[in-house]
Amino acid sequence: MSDKKSFGEKLEAFFSGKGFYIVLFLCVAVIGVSAYFLFTGSKDDVEGMSEANNGYEEVVEPLNEDPEMAAPPVVEEESETEETEAEDDDLEAATENEETGNWTEEQAETAVSAQYIWPLEGEIDMPYSVTTLIYNKKLGDWRTHDGVDIAAPLGTQVLAVCAGQVEKVYTDDMGGMTVIIQHAGGLRSIYSNLAAVPTVYEGDNVMTGEIIGAVGATAPGETKDNPHLCFKMTLDGQSVNPSDYLPPR
């Protein structure tokens, strides 16, 4: 019985010999096989999930496929600069016409139909007459008269009969303080025997009815006893009857 070894002694002898290496090999093999299956299984899961996702992949369509909608509309901007320049040119031309008297044909055509007013209220002391001699009470003789004398108290405001530009302000040898206004179409209105200090200056633009001065007694031979305005009109330098342009009295 002493020759028989116990199971424990046999097992110890096995591991102390080649058995240890056999067991170690088997453990390494088991670990390797387990790692292989684990790696293979993870890869399959990943591929399976990818295929599953491909089955539900959302297709996003691009917006504005229409070329006309894709790009913002092109707005043709109107050139404000060109419009402004055109307006400036028109204004400059109108101003130049006023300053030089080179009125356009349209302005000349409308000159006759322009609205005129009388320069002041008052009785006609001496009417217009260039073809018939009339008696001049002050001078005591018969002569023509190329204007109208309108009686009015000293200081009565004198108005521009129509819109225009003040061409000249001066003291005339015969008419005293005088203002000449240039209108469209070659017309001019002339106001004489004004007070010494008028209210306008040469180059001023005036509107119809604007105050240009007051009745005075600056004309030679005139007295304060018979104050009046000497009013005349000319067309292209030739005397015309103011009554042909001013409204009926």
pLDDT reading at 202 higher than 60:
yes
Question: Exposure pattern of 19-36 as b/e (b: 16+ CB <10 Å)?
Answer: eeeeeeeeeeeeeeeeee
> Residue 45: its pLDDT value, please?
54
pLDDT digit string, tens, across residues 28-82: 777 877 777 676 665 555 455 555 455 544 544 555 555 445 455 554 554 455 5
DSSP 239: E
Tell me what the mean pLDDT of segment 145-158 comes to. Answer: 93
CATH of 112-244, one of 3.40.50.80, 2.70.70.10, 3.40.1350.10, 1.10.600.10: 2.70.70.10
Q: Is this structure's pTM higher than 0.75?
A: no
> Residue 225: its pLDDT value, please?
65
CA dihedral for 237, 241, 244, 249, sign (positive or negative): positive
Tell me what the mean pLDDT of segment 238-247 comes to. Answer: 92
Out of 129-138, 154-163, 219-228, the most confident range is 154-163
Tell me what the mean pLDDT of segment 81-107 comes to. Answer: 49
Average pLDDT, the chain: 75
